[in-house]
Amino acid sequence: MGNNNRSFAYDGLFRQNVVLAGGFVTAPVIVACTTMERSLVLVISFFMITYLSILTCKFIPKKIAYMFRIVLYTIVAAAYFIPTALLLNILFPDTTNSVLLYIEITIVNSLLLAKTESRFYLIPYRKMITDALVYIAGYALAAFAVGFIRELLAYGTLFGFKICTAIMPAARSTFFGFVLVGLLAAACRAGSGYRKKDSRLAVFKFKKER
């Protein structure tokens, strides 16, 4: 039971990662995460818009039909976009402008519009707070991994600091983003599969010892 709970709690990191496993939120990572700074901007915007919307929309009564609730979810997310964009424009003005489209479309991401109904709003509020946070952490993990690889390959830098020579300028293009996220998705699937086997083996050993 304890193992099941732990596995459930970390679902959002690998097994149900919103970018690498579920494919719920792919566009910003595939196209816009070409540097670590862009990844950081996208993670902050995703956290502020999606996480706060998930927490807020929990209070929208279930009595309202889903076709109307989804409109309200989007309106709440669009309202959170305003402070998010203002804050990011102060912190990272140039980067925010260059990825603004991908911040704007965060208001209709599937984590908010679909996962809320199938997972977050089916569990108690306190548990939901941490569960949603783990999903956001999963998004951050994927965004930073993609940003790290692409910045290093395309520019030879990390957060703007020179590390090596740029060996693959094409790494900043959209097609490379698709291929890289596809490869990382396969790696994530393989990793979470092996972890499952490991945990099953651990349970088996534990039972045998008893």
Binding stretches for other proteins (CB under 8 A): 21, 23-27, 30-32, 34, 66-68, 70-71, 74-75, 77-79, 81-82, 85-86, 98-101, 104-105, 107-110, 113, 172-179, 181-183, 185-187, 189-190, 193
Nearer to other proteins, 187 or 202 (CB): 187
Nearer to other proteins, 79 or 129 (CB): 79
CA atoms of 127 and 134, how far apart (whole Å)? 11
CB of 154 to other proteins, least distance (A): 11
CB of 184 to other proteins, least distance (A): 8
Nearer to other proteins, 183 or 203 (CB): 183
CB of 86 to other proteins, least distance (A): 7
Q: Which residues contact 41 (CB under 8 A, 6 or more apart)?
A: 88, 92, 95, 96, 99, 103
Nearer to other proteins, 84 or 208 (CB): 84
CB of 87 to other proteins, least distance (A): 12
Greatest CA separation for the chain = 60
Q: Is 76 helix (H, G, I), strand (E, B) or coil?
A: helix
Nearest 10 degrees: CA dihedral of 165, 166, 168, 174?
A: 160
Strands (E), 113-160: 157-158
Nearer to other proteins, 70 or 140 (CB): 70
Q: How far is CA 124 from CA 24, 111, 129, in A?
A: 23, 18, 9
CB of 209 to other proteins, least distance (A): 32
- Residue 17 token pair: 């990662």
